[in-house]
């Protein structure tokens, strides 16, 4: 096949490349960190996508809900599984729609936009909603701490029931599947409740002490690692006195 395109493969180079790739994955699988489970979730999500694509019938879309749940669970480990969403978007398009450049471009845009949308409105958006509701309920309504979590849960349940009822009224099964998939992403992501529960025990390593919604939001936003000036800010030629708040005289 490669010779058809005028490419003469070097078998030794291919063998070396594949061996190094296998060694890399093997090292990640045995590493005592998040990578082994993260790769497991990614492979499981990709397998479920192909499993869904191979099935037909009214029950096939149940695999989409399972995919949402698996992605939600993986968010408690690593964000790598989100990269499978563009794959799902492309396969969904080719399964249900006839190819046209315009519709394909829209499908690709939606597929790639789903990754930052989940990062913004689920991973950090839900804790931000809980912290805002807790701030209002404690400071203005004089309610106990963590009341915002209860209010947010009630809002989420009500919005889900209303959305599902609307999808039945409109007789839109794909909208119903989308709502259920997002719901199961949130259900899987709720495993992150382990972090504030564990923080209550004051373990030796307790970054940001995420015992309440405010500190949990700081923990999820990774504020303990600082900020990276990607577009503006300190450059490699900056001196120490260029730091904000410090003048050259003080140095």
Task: Answer whether 128's CB lies under 8 Å from 217's CB.
Answer: yes
Start-end of H helices in the chain: 11-30, 35-54, 62-75, 85-96, 101-118, 125-139, 147-169, 173-189, 194-199, 213-220
Residues 6 or more apart from 81 whose CB is under 8 A from it?
Answer: 38, 41, 42, 45, 70, 71, 74, 75
Q: What is the pTM of this model?
A: 0.77
Q: pLDDT tens, position by position, for the chain (251 residues)?
A: 444 444 445 555 656 666 655 555 555 555 556 778 888 899 899 999 999 998 888 788 899 999 999 999 998 888 889 999 999 999 999 998 999 999 999 999 999 999 999 988 998 888 889 889 988 888 888 888 888 889 999 999 999 999 999 999 998 988 999 999 999 999 999 988 888 888 888 888 887 788 888 888 888 877 777 666 666 656 656 555 445 554 544 44
Q: Mind spelling out the 3-state secondary structure of 124-180?
A: CHHHHHHHHHHHHHHHCCCCCCCHHHHHHHHHHHHHHHHHHHHHHHCCCHHHHHHHH
Task: Answer whether 131's CB lies under 8 Å from 148's CB.
Answer: yes
Give the start-to-end residue ranges of the domains of the chain. Answer: 34-119, 124-221
Q: Which of 45, 139, 123 lies closest to 84, judged by CA?
A: 45
Residue 65 and residue 53: Cα distance in Å, rounded? 13
Residue 163 and residue 154: Cα distance in Å, rounded? 14
User: In this structure, how many other beta carbons lie within 10 angstroms of the beta carbon of residue 82?
Assistant: 20
- Structure tokens that stand for 152 in this block: 């947010």
Task: Give the per-residue pLDDT at 242.
Answer: 47
Residues 6 or more apart from 138 whose CB is under 8 A from it?
Answer: 144, 145, 147, 148
Alpha-carbon distances of 190 from 73, 151, 216, 234, 251, rounded to whole Å: 8, 15, 13, 37, 48
């Amino acid at each position: 096949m490669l010779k058809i395109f005028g490419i003469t493969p070097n078998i030794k180079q291919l063998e070396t490349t594949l061996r190094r790739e296998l060694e890399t994955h093997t090292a990640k699988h045995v590493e005592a960190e998040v990578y082994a489970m993260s790769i497991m979730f990614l492979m499981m999500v990709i397998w479920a996508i192909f499993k869904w694509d191979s099935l037909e019938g009214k029950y096939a879309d149940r695999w989409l809900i399972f995919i949402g749940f698996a992605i939600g669970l993986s968010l408690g480990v690593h964000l790598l599984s989100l990269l499978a969403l563009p794959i799902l978007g492309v396969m969904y398009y080719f399964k249900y729609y006839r190819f046209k450049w315009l519709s394909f471009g829209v499908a690709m845009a939606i597929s790639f936009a789903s990754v930052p949308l989940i990062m913004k409105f689920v991973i950090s958006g839900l804790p931000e909603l809980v912290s805002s509701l807790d701030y209002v309920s404690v400071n203005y309504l004089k309610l106990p701490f963590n009341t915002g979590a209860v209010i947010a849960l009630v809002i989420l349940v009500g919005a889900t029931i209303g959305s599902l009822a609307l999808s039945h009224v409109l007789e839109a099964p794909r909208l119903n599947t989308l709502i259920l998939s997002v719901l199961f992403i949130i259900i899987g992501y709720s495993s992150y409740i382990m972090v504030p529960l564990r923080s209550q025990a004051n373990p030796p390593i307790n970054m940001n002490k995420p015992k309440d919604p405010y500190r949990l939001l700081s923990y999820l936003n990774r504020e303990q690692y600082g900020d990276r000036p990607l577009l503006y800010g300190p450059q490699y030629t900056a001196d120490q006195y260029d730091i904000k708040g410090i003048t050259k005289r003080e140095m």
